[in-house]
A and B are shown apart, each in its own frame.
Chain A
Amino acid sequence: MASLAVPKPPARTRRSLGGGVGPIGLGVATLWLSLIVLLPLAAVLTKSLEGGLGGFWDAISAPSARYALLLTTAISALVALINVVTGTLIAWVLVRDDFRGKSLVNAIIDLPFALPTIVASIVLLSLYGPRSPVGIHLYATKPAVILALAFVTLPFVVRSVQPVLMEVDREAEQAAASLGASGWTTFRRIILPALYPALLGGAGLAFARAIGEFGSVVLIGGGIPRDTEVASQYIAKQIETDRPASAAAVSVALLLISFAVLFAIRWFTKRKDVG
């Protein structure tokens, strides 16, 4: 999963920052970040440009590659959108309603985080695969991919919206009601604006996770080129067939899409925050 925490290198002239960690702390943090994040990124970037910009472009615009990238982006966006709706709903129920077994449900939300994704894939395969006990056969279809990605990204929006929803000013809602606003109007005009940053953030994380997801789609998705093959599967296949430069190029393309989305969200939330 991509992270956008790439800090600017510390300015050399700044000596001791108030409450900072000092030069050693900064050094360690920078070194760690470099080893763990920047170095591999640089390596994959170099690899992808082995054949020059032209080679890079050829690699990602090969029909199967382009299809996989487009499919992945579109499905990830769709999954993020589904998450925005269902995640808000689940968070709402968890925060506002009281029912028996609520804490159990609350714990189950995190299951997709805890479960190895390949296990998720097996679970989905046994439920919706060729020998489906419920008679739903989704193996190697786009809905299967969507389902798998929706499963693994479920917690993101729920967990980002939930705390914000708990903090929402109930009296502001009551004030809106006393001014004549219906429940829906109050939700749309009073609650939703407070949730926007959390929704965008959660959706962004879900998108970024979905775009690179491999384990959960690998079995149920079928990996049919130009049909259900997502970018990560395409990359794996390139590696298997010994085309590392092409694999690196598609990886970098994924990375760029991910970065672009996360930065766009960040910019958007910042702009929303000025109020």
Chain B
Amino acid sequence: MITVTNVSKRFGDFTALDDVSLEVPDGSLTALLGPSGSGKSTLLRIIGGLEFADSGSVVIHGEDVTGVVPQKRGIGFVFQHYAAFKHMTVHDNVGFGLKIRKTPKERIDERVNELLKIVGLGGFAKRYPSQLSGGQRQRMALARALAVEPRVLLLDEPFGALDAKVRAELREWLRRLHEEVHVTTLLVTHDQEEALSIADNIAVMDNAHIEQVGGPRELYDRPANSFVMGFLGPVAQVDDTLVRPHDISLLSRPEGDAREAQVTRVSHLGFEVRVELQLGDGQPVFAQLTRTEAAQLELSAGDIVWLALTGDRDARLVSEDDRLDAVA
């Protein structure tokens, strides 16, 4: 378990972390999710000892490591840009941590081969990092971090430099690897889809603060505030209620307290259909329907429909401010 308590960090007069506390459960894969500049990397680097907090404490597995150098923290750190040792072969990169621990050569070879197999780089031991693709380099970096059997694995946007397809593959792969290796992992990302798809626990950061911590479902279904709601998925606003656009249903007849609205545009996005509407008072809203629903309604621009809110009441928020610029 990693316990961060009341950590603050300033760079000059800029506050990068403001009294942040966080618990990363043992064996979990926790994501640190937030927009650029929110302080994710700073927090991760403080946990890894690559940066030191101005105040507060960091405890890893019961040991207070607040002032401890990275060498003595028992961590594995993976960087966005691989941080490969360019002049060493893949084998020597992965074996580096063991070699400086004076591990016997046979033992190193054995462990390196085992790890390279796990990360799918079995035949690449003799190559140099420059002879690998980005995805392969990052897998090498992961193997290198895992080689010293760290107590916790810290990943700073490990797939950030890769293209969308490789990203998705590696994401899947990391989740499976985590199920196999089960080392407590903290992963920084600004991609909500990435966080939702692989993490079992997510901490959402904004502006030097942690806004909410919880499971993917909990965060999506019960966001603590409009920032979390907006960052985790699309949001539509009906009067002063914030709601997921798939929690809006459209009716062809008035019913209950359904509101009248006019369709302004219908876009077919494969599986989902996005309907843009205008409420009586001119407020624009959009709804997400499935293909089937849309087909039944036979919608087209100019139609008049009635709009009702469905789904869980807890998934809605009352708009409190103007922080919703980011809605999709």
Residues of A near any B CB (own CB < 8 A):
169, 171-172, 174-182, 185, 189-190, 193-194, 275
- Would you call A180 and B79 a contact (CB within 8 A)? no
Beyond A171-B81, A172-B84, whether A178 also contacts B101 by CB under 8 A is: no
A252 to B207 Cα, complex, angstroms:
70
A185 to B101 Cα, complex, angstroms:
11
Residues of chain A within 8 A of B76, CB atoms compared: 178-179
Residues of chain A within 8 A of B87, CB atoms compared: 193-194, 275
Q: How far is the CB of B59 from chain A (nearest CB, A)?
A: 18
**Residue B100 contacts which of A175, A181, A194 (CB distance < 8 angstroms)?**
A181
Residues of chain B within 8 A of A194, CB atoms compared: 86-87
- Would you call A177 and B79 a contact (CB within 8 A)? no
Residues of chain B within 8 A of A180, CB atoms compared: 71, 97, 100-101, 148
A189 to B96 Cα, complex, angstroms:
10
Q: Is B124 an interface residue (CB 8 A)?
A: no
A185 to B48 Cα, complex, angstroms:
19
Residues of chain B within 8 A of A275, CB atoms compared: 86-87, 128, 130
Kindly report which residue of chain A lies nearest to residue B75, judged by CB atoms.
A178
Extra contacts, 7 of them, besides A174-B77, A176-B96, A194-B86 (Cβ < 8 A), are: A169-B86, A171-B79, A172-B85, A178-B145, A179-B76, A179-B148, A275-B87
Residues of chain A within 8 A of B49, CB atoms compared: 177-178
Q: How far is the CB of B148 from chain A (nearest CB, A)?
A: 6
Kindly report which residue of chain B lies nearest to residue A185, judged by CB atoms.
B100
Q: Give the 8 A-B CB pairs with smallest separation, nearest first.
A: A179-B97, A171-B83, A178-B77, A175-B83, A193-B87, A172-B83, A177-B70, A171-B79
Residues from 33 to 91 in B contacting A, C-beta threshold 8 Å: 48-50, 69-71, 73, 75-77, 79, 81, 83-87
Beyond A179-B100, A180-B97, A185-B100, whether A174 also contacts B50 by CB under 8 A is: yes
Residues of chain A within 8 A of B50, CB atoms compared: 174, 177-178
Number of chain B interface residues as a range: 20 to 34
A171 to B79 Cα, complex, angstroms:
7
29 contacts between A and B (CB under 8 A): A169-B81, A169-B83, A169-B86, A171-B79, A172-B85, A174-B70, A175-B77, A175-B79, A175-B85, A175-B141, A175-B145, A176-B96, A177-B49, A177-B70, A178-B50, A178-B70, A178-B77, A178-B145, A179-B76, A179-B100, A179-B144, A179-B147, A180-B71, A180-B97, A180-B100, A180-B101, A182-B71, A193-B87, A194-B87
A180 to B72 Cα, complex, angstroms:
7
A129 to B81 Cα, complex, angstroms:
55
Contact with A along B116-158 (1 / 0, CB 8 A): 0000000000001010000000000100110110000000000
A213 to B96 Cα, complex, angstroms:
44
A169 to B87 Cα, complex, angstroms:
12
Kindly report which residue of chain A lies nearest to residue B87, judged by CB atoms.
A193
Residues of chain A within 8 A of B86, CB atoms compared: 169, 172, 194, 275
A175 to B81 Cα, complex, angstroms:
11
Q: How far is the CB of B182 from chain A (nearest CB, A)?
A: 20
Kindly report which residue of chain A lies nearest to residue B129, judged by CB atoms.
A275
Most interface-central of B50, B81, B141 (chain A CB within 10 A): B50
- Would you call B71 and A177 a contact (CB within 8 A)? yes
- Would you call B69 and A177 a contact (CB within 8 A)? yes
Q: How far is the CB of B112 from chain A (nearest CB, A)?
A: 13
Residues of chain B within 8 A of A181, CB atoms compared: 71, 96-97, 100
A177 to B144 Cα, complex, angstroms:
12
Kindly report which residue of chain A lies nearest to residue B150, judged by CB atoms.
A178
A185 to B96 Cα, complex, angstroms:
11
A189 to B147 Cα, complex, angstroms:
18
Residues of chain B within 8 A of A177, CB atoms compared: 49-50, 69-71
Residues of chain A within 8 A of B48, CB atoms compared: 178
Kindly report which residue of chain A lies nearest to residue B93, judged by CB atoms.
A175
Q: How far is the CB of B63 from chain A (nearest CB, A)?
A: 16
Residues from 86 to 113 in B contacting A, C-beta threshold 8 Å: 86-87, 96-97, 100-101
A182 to B72 Cα, complex, angstroms:
10
Q: How far is the CB of B169 from chain A (nearest CB, A)?
A: 23
Kindly report which residue of chain B lies nearest to residue A178, judged by CB atoms.
B77
Most interface-central of A180, A182, A185, A275 (chain B CB within 10 A): A180
**Residue B83 contacts which of A174, A185, A189, A193 (CB distance < 8 angstroms)?**
A174
- Would you call A175 and B71 a contact (CB within 8 A)? no
A193 to B48 Cα, complex, angstroms:
26
Residues of chain B within 8 A of A176, CB atoms compared: 85, 96
Q: How far is the CB of B146 from chain A (nearest CB, A)?
A: 11
Residues of chain A within 8 A of B145, CB atoms compared: 175, 178-179
Residues of chain B within 8 A of A175, CB atoms compared: 77, 79, 83, 85, 141, 144-145
Q: How far is the CB of B47 from chain A (nearest CB, A)?
A: 11
